[in-house]
Amino acid sequence: MSEYFSVKEVQVAGNVRLGSGEIQALAEVRPGMNSLAVRMGAMEARLLSNPWVAGVSVKRELPGSFFITVRERVPHYWGRRGDKVVYLDDRGDMICELEPTKFTSLPFLSIDPGMESWLEQLPDMVGSLETASLPLDINNAAWVRLSRSGGMELFLENADMTLCLGVEDWNTNLSRLALVLGDLSRRGELKYVRSVKVDGDSVWVEAATSPAASR
């Protein structure tokens, strides 16, 4: 082999969770190899076989440089598949099993039977919650549930509060939730609330020391 075409440089970009060394090992490209002998399609296939890799671009620049750019899947939730706890993406699709060596704390997502069709709308619903003018940190959710009785339910750990919104008329329900929470906040009563449920024309507010009361 001509030393001129030996691999001298491998650059990795776009990775967050996966280390550059992990990606190079998956790519099976290392210094000293014959750059002309590297099969680009096979390299891309090996990289895409990793559950964290959503997309990849590989460029070879002669005589001996490779540039690997990956697009990683982003975990948004924990979930359960059988007896295993797994990472899920923003639509509730499984990425891989929980990795103790690369632990990331995330909300736990559960889906009641019959609510699976709402997973496609889940990213938009969560995004609208995050951008709504709510006097609460929605990013602090400990768990999220798509419930047949409550719609989307989420528990905010720091506030010790559960929010429930009907999913059928999401935007209207979200607007009503913002009004109720804003009113409670202005009156200094938000800290006493343990749950708020909004569904259609009905809003229920439950305080820490009293049974649920309809507003």
Instruction: Tell me the per-residue pLDDT of 72-131, one tens digit each, with 9 for 90 and over.
Output: 999 999 999 999 999 999 999 999 999 888 888 999 999 999 999 999 999 999 999 999
* Three-state secondary-structure class, residue 198: strand
The C-alpha torsion from 74 through 80 and 84 to 87, rounded to 10°, is 0
Instruction: Quickly count: other Cβ atoms within 10 Å of residue 180's Cβ.
Output: 19
- Residue ranges and CATH numbers for the domains of the chain are 3-72 (3.10.20.310), 107-214 (3.40.50.11690)
Gap between the Cα atoms of 109 and 126, Å rounded? 12
- Residue spans of the chain under pLDDT 70: 1-2, 209-215
Gap between the Cα atoms of 146 and 119, Å rounded? 8
